[in-house]
Structures are given as C-alpha cells and as structure tokens.
Amino acid sequence: MTQPAAKAIILFGHGSRDPLWRGPIEAVAARLAKRHPTVPVRCAYLEFDTPKLPEAAAALVAAGRTTISIVPMFLGTGTHARRDLPALLQELRDAHSQIHFELQRAIGDDPRVLDLLATIAFE
C-alpha cells in the first residue's frame, strides 16, 4: 500500500468551454481533500480547461509525490479513455520515470457508480 505522504490523486476530465461543467469534478476533489487531508488532489482536463494532465502531474512531482493515481472522470470508456489517456500516461511515464503512475478505470465503469445512478434515475 502506498504511504499517504507519497500519494497524490488527479481527477481527469474531458473539459468544456462552459465553466459550470467543472463543478462536479471540483466537488469530488473537495470531498476527497476533506476526507484525506494529507493526500493532494488535483483536477486536470483533456480539452478546453486547464490545467492539462502533464501540468497537474508536474506540480505534484515538484511537491515530492512519488505515486500519482489518475482517475478518469468519464461515465464510460470511450475513445478518450481508450486512446488519448493511455498516450498521455506514457508521456508522463517517459517524462517522470521515477514516479509511479496508477491509472484507474473510468469512474462510470465502477458498479457502485452505476448502482447509484440507477437509484437516482428511479427517484
């Protein structure tokens, strides 16, 4: 298990030109920070928003984090999760070979998320 002092989390989203779009991802980041105050949490975006994934990762590396968990905040595993994110991840590993990057599955592929969505949809 990764020691909390070395771990960090990046919530990775698509991005949007609409600034309100970021609200849910930033709310998840705030909840994580409150529950785990010793683990830095950053948001990063593929398009339209900043920071981009390399910038968020570089800031965490500069802060001394050695394990960075990347959480794709996508409801499904589409092209961005299957093609774009693995390419970005390889770039990160090439740029920061001393850092352990963990790629989690898309958040929407988790059965707990699907169960919660079904519950909400039924209400």
Dump pLDDT digits (tens) for 43-69. 999 999 999 999 999 999 999 999 999
Number of domain units in the chain: 1
Residue (of 12, 81, 9) closest to 50 by Cα position: 12
Residue 28: CATH number of its domain: 3.40.50.1400
Dump pLDDT digits (tens) for 10-37. 999 999 999 899 999 999 999 999 999 9
pTM across the whole model: 0.91
Does residue 1 fall inside a structural domain? no
Does residue 2 fall inside a structural domain? no
> Which residues, 6 or more positions from 65, have their beta carbon under 8 angstroms from its beta carbon?
6, 7, 8, 40, 99
Interior angle at CA 8, CA 38 and CA 10, nearest 5: 125
Measured CA to CA, the distance from residue 29 to residue 32 in angstroms comes to 5
Q: Decide: 10 and 73 in contact? Cβ < 8 Å.
A: no
Q: Which domain holds residue 84?
A: 7-122
